[in-house]
Amino acid sequence: MKIAVPKETKPREKRVALTPEVVKSLLATGFECIVETGAGTGAFLDDALYAAAGAVIAPDAASAYAPADVVIGVNAPLPREIALMKKGSALISFMYAASNPDLVAACVKQGVSSFSMDAIPRISRAQRMDALSSQANLGGYKAVLVAANALGKVLPLLMTAAGTIRPATVVIMGAGVAGLQAVATAKRLGAIVEVSDIRPETKEQVESLGGKFIEVTGDKSLKVEGGYVKEVSPEFLARQKQLVAQHVEKADIVITTAQVSGKKAPVLVTMDTVERMRPGSVIVDMAVEQGGNCEGSELDKVVVKHGVTIIGESNLPGLLPRTASDLYARNAEAFLTHVATKNGFAWDMSDEITKGSLITHQGKAVHPGCEPAKP
Residue-wise pLDDT tens digits, 208-236: 999 999 987 665 555 555 555 556 677 77
Give yes or no: residues 294 and 171 share one domain. Answer: yes
Report whether pLDDT(97) > 80: yes
Q: Is 133 a catalytic residue?
A: yes
Distance CA 280, CA 307 (A): 6
Q: Is 130 a catalytic residue?
A: yes
Q: Where residue 44 sits, what CATH number does that domain have?
A: 3.40.50.720
pTM of the model: 0.92
What pLDDT is stored for residue 266 in this prediction?
Answer: 86
| Domain membership flag for residue 130 | no
Beta bridge partners of 172: 195, 255
Same domain, 310 and 169: yes
pLDDT, averaged across the chain: 93
196 is catalytic: no
198 and 280 share a domain? yes
Q: Which residues contact 298 (CB under 8 A, 6 or more apart)?
A: 288, 310, 312
Active-site residue (options: 93, 110, 114, 133) = 133
- Report DSSP letters for 3-27, one per residue: EEEPPP-STT----SS-HHHHHHHH
Same domain assignment for residues 146 and 158: yes
pLDDT digits (tens, 9 = 90+) for 294-345: 999 999 999 999 999 999 999 999 999 999 999 999 999 999 999 999 999 9
290 is annotated as an active-site residue: no
Do 313 and 329 have their domain in common? no
Query: Domain of 38?
Result: 2-119+320-364
Tell whether 165 is covered by a domain: yes
Q: What is the mean pLDDT of residues 50-56?
A: 98
Active site residue 69: no
User: Is 375 contained in some domain?
Assistant: no
Phi-psi group of 44: left, alpha or beta (phi > 0 → left; psi -120 to 50 → alpha; rest → beta): left
Catalytic residue among 46, 47, 122, 239: 122
Average pLDDT of the segment spanning 189-214: 93
CA distance 129 to 328: 8
Average pLDDT of the segment spanning 266-272: 91
CA atoms within 13 A on the CB side of 1: 24
339 and 274 within one domain: no
pLDDT at residue number 232: 66
In whole angstroms, give the CA distance from residue 132 to residue 329. 12
Instruction: Exactly one of 99, 127, 208, 221 is catalytic; name it.
Output: 127
Which among 228, 276, 322, 351 is annotated as catalytic? 228
- Cα torsion angle, 58, 63, 66, 72, sign: positive
**pLDDT reported for residue 233:** 72
Q: Is residue 92 one of the residues assigned to a domain?
A: yes
Using the predicted structure, report yes or no on whether residue 241 has a pLDDT greater than 80: no
Helix (H, G, I), strand (E, B), or coil: what is residue 216? coil
State whether 263 and 279 are in the same domain.
Answer: yes
